A and B are shown apart, each in its own frame.
Chain A
Amino acid sequence: MGAAEKLRTLAEDEKYRKKLAVCYQCGVCTGGCPVAYVKPEYNPRRILEAIILGQYEEILSSDLVWLCTSCHSCLERCPQRIEVSELLIELRNLAAETGNIPKLLLERAKRIAETGQSTPISRASTVWREKLNLAPVSPVNVEEVQGILQATNFPGWIERARNLANGARS
C-alpha cells in the first residue's frame, strides 16, 4: 500500500475519522502555532482541512509537514481534543515513506543510524570532558542499535530518500 493509501486508511479509520470529523476549523491550533506566526504558509488548520477533504497526495508531497516544531501547543489547546501535533508526526512518517525528507534531516537520520548518536563522541568532546573532570562517555553499542533499526523501515527509507535526491540531481 502506498503512503497516500495509508493516509486514506488512517483518515477513514474509525479512531481518526471520529477525531477529524469533530474539527470545526476554529483555528486555535494555528493561532497558537509558533511557526504559523512567522510563516503563514504553514497553517495546521489548513492541513487538517486538507485531510478532511481527502487531499492526501498533496499533503504528503509538501514540505509543510516538516515545519512543525512539535511544541504541542495545538494538542494542548484544541477544544475538540484533536492531537494535531501527533497527527503531524504520522504525516511526516508517511511523507518519509514517499521519499519526502528534508536533506539535513536525512543526514542526521543517517548519522544516527551509523553511529547511534545525533552528535557522536569525538576527539574534541573527549578532551573537553577530561578537562571538566567528567567521566568518558561509554561508546554506543552500534551493533545493537543497527540490529533494531534494520528490523524497521528506517534504513530503507533513508536509502530511498537518498536515491530520490541523487536522481533529482542528475
Chain B
Amino acid sequence: MGQEARYAWFPGCWVSNRMPFIEAADRRVLSAFGIELVEMKDTSCCPEPYAVLGLGREAWLGLAARNLSIAEEMKQSLLTPCPGCYHTLKAAQTVLRREPAQREQVNKLLSRVGRQFKGDIEVDHTIGVLHNKIGFEKLASAIKYPFSGLKVAVHYGCHLLKPSTVTGIDDPERPTFLDRLAEVSGAESVPYMRKMLCCGGPISSVDENASYAIAREKLLKVKQAGADCLLVACPACLIQYDTNQPFIEKTFGESYEVPVLYHTELLCLVMGIRLAEIGFRHQVKVDKILEKVRT
C-alpha cells in the first residue's frame, strides 16, 4: 500500500443523505484496511453533472473548484465513494490544472468567497484505493467467509471509466477490477451481454421511459445469464437497478427479481460484517446471496 492512508472524505449528497447505508459499508471496509477518513466541512453538491453542468459549465466548474479547495486547505487528498462526484471533481481538477486561463477565471470566482484553487491534492475513488492501494492480495487475506457457488454479473457503470483521459481507473472498454473483486470474494463473475451498458439513470428526470428501458435491457441480460445478483460500484446505478426495479417491472409488465449488491456490501458479507450492522436497506430481497456465504 502507498504512503497515503488518510483522506478528506467526500461522500456526496446521495450517499450522505439518501443512502447512508452505503457510507456505513464503505467506512467498515476502509477502516479494516487502516484507511482513515477525515470529515470535510462546508462542502456542497460536487456539483452533479446533469442539472448543473448541463445548465452552466462555469457554475459547475466554480462549485467543483470550491469543494477541491476545501480538501486543499485540509492538506489531504480527496476520496469519494460516488463515481458521479469522482467524475466531476477529477474532470474539474484536470481542466484547471491544464488550462491556465480557465484556472484564472475560476479563481476570480472563488476569490469572491475568499477561496483559491491550487491543484495540489489528488482525487480518488474508493475503487481506486481498494484496488490500487490496498490491492487484491490484501483484500483476499481479509476474507473470512467466502462465497460458494455464487454467480455474479458485474456492472461497471460509466463514470469511473469514461472519459478515460480524465478518470483513468481502468481500461474504459475492458475493465477487470469488479470481475477480480467478485472472484476474490469466492464468487464467479459470469459473462453476459451488455456488460458495459450505462444504467440509464441520468435521464430518468427527462425521459423516464427511456431511462427504464435502458435498465430493463441490462436486467433481462443478467437474468438470461443465470446470475444470482448484479454487482455495482455506484450509488446512482444502485438506485436505478434496485430502488427502481419494481417500477421498471411495472412499466414493462415483467418480473426480474435481480438482487443488487454494492461493492463494499459484498466485501462486508465475506469479511464477516453482517448486513444488519451496516443498516442494509435494498428493495430487492438478497436472501439468495446470503445462502451462498460460506460460514
Contacts and interface: CB of A to CB of B under 8 A. Distances in A.
Max chain B CB contacts within 10 Å: which of A125, A133, A137, A143?
Answer: A137
Interface residues of B, number: 61
A68 to B, nearest CB: 8
B58 to A, nearest CB: 4
B170 interface: no
A128 B281 CA distance: 11
Interface residues of A, number: 65
B54 A34 contact: no
B120 interface: no
A153 to B, nearest CB: 5
B109 interface: yes
B200 A141 contact: no
B16 A121 contact: yes
A87 interface: no
Contacts of B207: 39, 67
A132 B279 CA distance: 6
Contacts of B40: 138
Contact of A69 (B51, B112, B203): B203
B173 A118 contact: no
Interface of B: 13-14, 16-18, 20-21, 23-24, 27, 39-45, 47-59, 62-63, 66, 109-110, 112-113, 115, 158-159, 162-164, 172-173, 196-198, 200-203, 205-207, 210, 213-214, 217, 278-279
Interface of A: 34-35, 37-39, 42, 63, 66-73, 75-76, 83, 85-86, 89-90, 92-93, 96, 101-102, 104-106, 108-109, 112, 116-122, 125, 128-129, 131-135, 137-141, 143-145, 147-149, 151-154, 157-158
> Closest 4 A-B residue pairs measured CB to CB?
A104-B205, A71-B198, A72-B162, A38-B213
